[in-house]
Amino acid sequence: MQARIGDLAALLGGELIGDPEHTVVRLGTLERAEADTVSFLSNPRYQAQLATTRAGCVIVSAAMREAAAARVAAIVVADPYLAYARLSQWWAARLRERPAAGIHPSAVVEEGAIVAPGASIGALAFVGAGAVVEAGAIVSAQAHVGEGAFVGEGTVLKPRAMLAFGCRIGARGIVHGGAVIGADGFGFAPEAGRWTKIEQLGAVRLGDDVEIGANTCIDRGALDDTVVDDGVKIDNLVQIAHNVRIGAHTAFAGCSAVAGSTRIGRHCTIGGAANIVGHLEICDGVHISAATLVTASIRKPGHYTGVFPCDDHASWEKNAATLKNLHSLRERLRALEKKTS
């Protein structure tokens, strides 16, 4: 596959500096680019690489115009990172073949399931009775669509992804391998030292343009549904417990988790391995740092953190030991203050 950089500039709505006939065959990083590579600069951290890259064409912002033009062909755009995203989509669409429409002979599609024309059901996939797979949707090899589940138009369940019975995902979504949408929420009533199961009668509803990472779990609701709004992006190994509601365009990094019945607003970002306990309200526009535990509702947009700083082990050990007596340290300080006042 090859592309003229003049065509790429047109595609991205950018200004081309250089020969439009120059062709590239790859999209790559500045560091590893060759003359046949189109690359981009968005993270200032990598700016020094602009001077040394061998890339045949670099996508840059206006501020970088001169630095880029001095060396290689360039495409100047308002937002190079966004231009890179668009170009990656253009490239992927050309590099990767769409699976054929239709139902693979080894798949099991139960009676009463509706698979729209143009949808694709892969090898060894399962589609349960009463399920609906809309036009252009792809249920990949070994994926699972439970009884009565719904897969919206153009949504892709990657190999080994699972949408349990009665759950829904809207249009243009992606569910990666091993994700489990719709296992039971974790609910038990204590009864004389034992746990009595609370059957989870709700389901999971995912909006449009939602992406769910590999081996992520989103549990079905106890009574009402667990709800994930449009445009939410969830990374790998994330746990979303029952009855959680997540507002539109919020993103969860890998290994984060939200306990039951918590409501999270729109346009939030939850850092990797961050945890939010149950029954809280997190307003719109909240950003939680990696590995932070949130134990109280947050009603003001902003950036929140709670992490013990990493140190060499010996230093940590001394500080941690002192921390276990921090309260008495405060008392001693208070006593001194009194004494010297």
The residue length of the chain stands at 341
Q: List phi, psi (to 5°) of 3.
A: -140, 140
Q: List phi, psi (to 5°) of 316.
A: -55, -45
Could you say whether residue 327 binds a second copy (CB under 8 A)?
A: yes
Whole-number Å distance between alpha carbons of 341 and 329: 18
Q: Which of 12, 137, 160, 268 binds a second copy (CB under 8 A)?
A: 160
H or E segment and range at residue 54: none
Whole-number Å distance between alpha carbons of 270 and 53: 34
Q: Which residues in the 108-147 window bind a second copy by CB under 8 A?
A: 108, 110, 123-124, 126, 128, 141-142, 144, 146
| The two structure tokens encoding residue 165 | 């019975």
Q: Which of 4, 54, 263, 267 binds a second copy (CB under 8 A)?
A: 267
Q: Which residues in the 219-258 window bind a second copy by CB under 8 A?
A: 219, 222-224, 231, 233, 235-237, 239, 241, 249, 251, 253-255, 257
Could you say whether residue 162 binds a second copy (CB under 8 A)?
A: yes
Could you say whether residue 295 binds a second copy (CB under 8 A)?
A: yes
- CB nearer to a second copy: give 70 or 223: 223
Whole-number Å distance between alpha carbons of 131 and 242: 22
- CB nearer to a second copy: give 73 or 276: 276
- CB nearer to a second copy: give 6 or 178: 178
Q: Which of 7, 11, 215, 283 binds a second copy (CB under 8 A)?
A: 215
Sole window of 6-14, 47-55, 131-139, 308-316 interacting with a second copy (rule: CB under 8 A): 308-316
Could you say whether residue 79 binds a second copy (CB under 8 A)?
A: yes
| From 242, 267, 279, 303, active-site residue | 242
Could you say whether residue 94 binds a second copy (CB under 8 A)?
A: no
CA 76 to chain centre: 28
Whole-number Å distance between alpha carbons of 142 and 183: 18
Give the CA angle between residues 8, 51, 12 to the nearest 5°. 15
Could you say whether residue 326 binds a second copy (CB under 8 A)?
A: yes
Helix (H, G, I), strand (E, B) or coil at 291: coil
Is 242 an active-site residue? yes
Q: Are strands 281-282 and 263-264 parallel, antiparallel or unpaired?
A: parallel
Catalytic residues: 242
